[in-house]
Amino acid sequence: MSHDATAAAGTTDSWQQQDRAHHLHPFTDYKALNAKGSRIITRAEGCYIWDSEGHKLLDGMAGLWCVNIGYGRKELAEAAYAQMQELPYYNNFFQCSTPPAVELSALLAELTPPHLNHVFFTGSGSESNDTVLRMVRYYWKLKGKPYKKIIIARDNAYHGSTVAGASLSGMKAMHAQGDLPIPGIVHIEQPYHFGVAPEMDPAEFGLRAARALERKIDELGECNVAAFIAEPIQGAGGVIIPPDSYWPEIKRICAERDILFVADEVITGFGRLGTWFGSQYYGIEPDLMSIAKGLSSGYQPIGGVMVSDKVAEVVIDQGGEFFHGYTYSGHPVAAAVAAANLRILRDERIIERAGAEVGPYLQKRWAELADHPLVGETRGVGMLAALELVRAKSPRQDFAPAGKVGTLCRDICVDNGLVMRAVRDTMIISPPLVLTLEQVDELIEKAARCLDLTAARLHEVI
Ligand SMILES: *Cc1c(COP(=O)(O)O)cnc(C)c1O
């Protein structure tokens, strides 16, 4: 680092300059960012974040879908501080364990659905899904069926950005940049009614999308299929909520077929849908469940895979060494912080309140946005919602090319004190679960005003 850079540290200009010079951001168009300069976020409290210029924003995305308990909880900072002083690091390899890792695993067994009683810790959601891929293939090998290797995922799914995570994801742009997916991963239709088949009856479409799994299993041969992985609601794909007919049909198919079902609950876990887990909201019983994000409310990087008794018994009793693990699997500081987060979620009944009070109110007010001339559909569950921006409502006309109006709307939101994310021309929110009813009103009023401003500025982008 140069002496000048050090001397200049601490102002927006110097941060932006150093950022441009040295920092390669995730999921970012570098040239575009460098032309504009990054927004430097410097602090946060409750449901608000502040940038280095002093602007206050209502964080409608809870960071990246993760700050479920809101910002600024001292208990989590204290848990980290105490653990760092006592034991900042030790691993869980070589027949060792640490109290925070042990206590968090017991707490997770208690809070997750009853048949999930074991956890493999990771550092992130992507690592969790890498672990899923390793573990399902290992499971079938131990069961004497080593040819059961293929994992079926869905178009437009998001399962992370590591090689396995990006391969399981169904995002064409990611695949195109990395020669992905890796072999043994295939994708089926997503249950995205508005985007894929708006002309169809939703219930019929839900059945069709679910039966794509059955058809794919038949096509590949059931003896070659290891697992089906899916998010209960697709998050990064655009808050895609399947029609009511979808999950019961998937459940039927999984029950009839000898494959594992993996729920990626990295977003839907820990209260996002107003229930502890999305699996409970939809009444599905995964054999494996990926978790991260809300596990620590983002205060520390930590993830895991919850493993059902059925799979754990095989791995424990019939396996020798499972040759898989991360240096930071069950990191004591991250585990202590996650446990403090889960106790707050449980003891303050934050999820119950999100399910019974804040979520329903948010959904009621969000649905009012459907009257706006730019909005072709609103949808949501619990503390998750989306709306589709359209050029005209009936007959429906989408914006072309897609994505420009969404980006405009997102930038207008940020300039007007609201973090709302754009996926193509779908605007999405996933606020902290601790949002108050007054903050719901603030979010809706800001969103409505930003839709008006977007409508007035369409000519700038199309
Ligand atoms: C964010 C996300 C991941 C990846 O998690 P990282 O911690 O970013 O690696 C995986 N699955 C889903 C559903 C996600 O939303």
Residue in this structure with the two tokens 């695949």, named with its chain if needed? 175
User: Which amino acid is present at 238?
Assistant: G
- pLDDT for residue 148: 98
CA 90 to mean position of chain CA atoms? 28
- pLDDT for residue 7: 41
Pick the last residue of a domain from 330, 347, 364. 347
Asked if residue 138 belongs to a domain, the reply is yes
Asked if residue 339 belongs to a domain, the reply is yes
263 and 361 co-located in one domain: no
CATH number at 262 reads 3.40.640.10
CA atoms of 44 and 57, how far apart (whole Å): 9
Which residues are registered as beta bridge partners of 132?
none
Using the CB atoms, write b or e for 291-317: b if 16+ within 10 Å.
bbbbbbbbbbbbbbbbbbeebbebbee
307 and 179 co-located in one domain: yes
124 Cα nearest atom in ligand 1: 7
Indicate the pairing of strand 225-230 with strand 150-154. Answer: parallel
pLDDT value at 2 more than 60: no
pLDDT digits (tens, 9 = 90+) for 271-318: 999 999 999 999 999 999 999 999 999 999 999 999 999 999 999 999
The mean per-residue pLDDT over the stretch 32-48 comes to 96
pLDDT value at 6 more than 60: no
193 and 324 co-located in one domain: yes
Mutate-to-test residue for ligand 1 from 65, 229, 233, 266, highest number of ligand atoms within 8 A of CB: 266
> Ligand 1 site: residues with CB under 6 angstroms?
124-126, 129, 158-160, 231, 235-236, 264, 266-267, 292, 303
User: Which amino acid is present at 208?
Assistant: R
How far is the centre of ligand 1, averaged over its atoms, from the C-alpha of 433 (Å)? 18
127 Cα nearest atom in ligand 1: 9
219 and 285 co-located in one domain: yes
Q: What is the pTM of this model?
A: 0.97
Closest CA to ligand 1's atom 10: 159
Closest CA to 169 of 159, 161, 178: 159
Are 90 and 100 within 8 A, CB to CB? no
- pLDDT for residue 390: 98
252 and 376 co-located in one domain: no
Count of structural domains within the chain:
2
How far is the centre of ligand 1, averaged over its atoms, from the C-alpha of 267 (Å)? 7
95 and 229 co-located in one domain: yes
- To the nearest 10 degrees (0 to 180), the angle between helices 359-368 and 437-456 is 20
Q: Which domain does 397 fall in, by range?
A: 39-72+350-460
370 and 300 co-located in one domain: no
Pick the last residue of a domain from 288, 323, 347. 347
- pLDDT for residue 5: 41
325 and 367 co-located in one domain: no
The mean per-residue pLDDT over the stretch 186-193 comes to 98
The mean per-residue pLDDT over the stretch 65-72 comes to 98
170 and 79 co-located in one domain: yes
Query: Please, what is the Cα angle at 109 between 105 and 115, to 5 degrees?
Result: 140
How far is the centre of ligand 1, averaged over its atoms, from the C-alpha of 7 (Å)? 37
310 and 294 co-located in one domain: yes
- pLDDT for residue 3: 44
- pLDDT for residue 10: 80
Asked if residue 296 belongs to a domain, the reply is yes
Pick the last residue of a domain from 347, 363, 383. 347
231 Cα nearest atom in ligand 1: 13
pLDDT value at 447 more than 60: yes
How far is the centre of ligand 1, averaged over its atoms, from the C-alpha of 266 (Å)? 6
The mean per-residue pLDDT over the stretch 362-390 comes to 98
Using the CB atoms, write b or e for 92-130: b if 16+ within 10 Å.
beeeeebebbeebbebbeebbbeebbbbbbbbbbbbbbb
169 and 303 co-located in one domain: yes
pLDDT value at 4 more than 90: no
Asked if residue 324 belongs to a domain, the reply is yes
CATH number at 433 reads 3.90.1150.10
The mean per-residue pLDDT over the stretch 151-173 comes to 98
265 Cα nearest atom in ligand 1: 13
Percent of the chain residues topping a pLDDT of 90: 97
Mutate-to-test residue for ligand 1 from 64, 293, 421, highest number of ligand atoms within 8 A of CB: 293
CA atoms of 271 and 381, how far apart (whole Å): 11
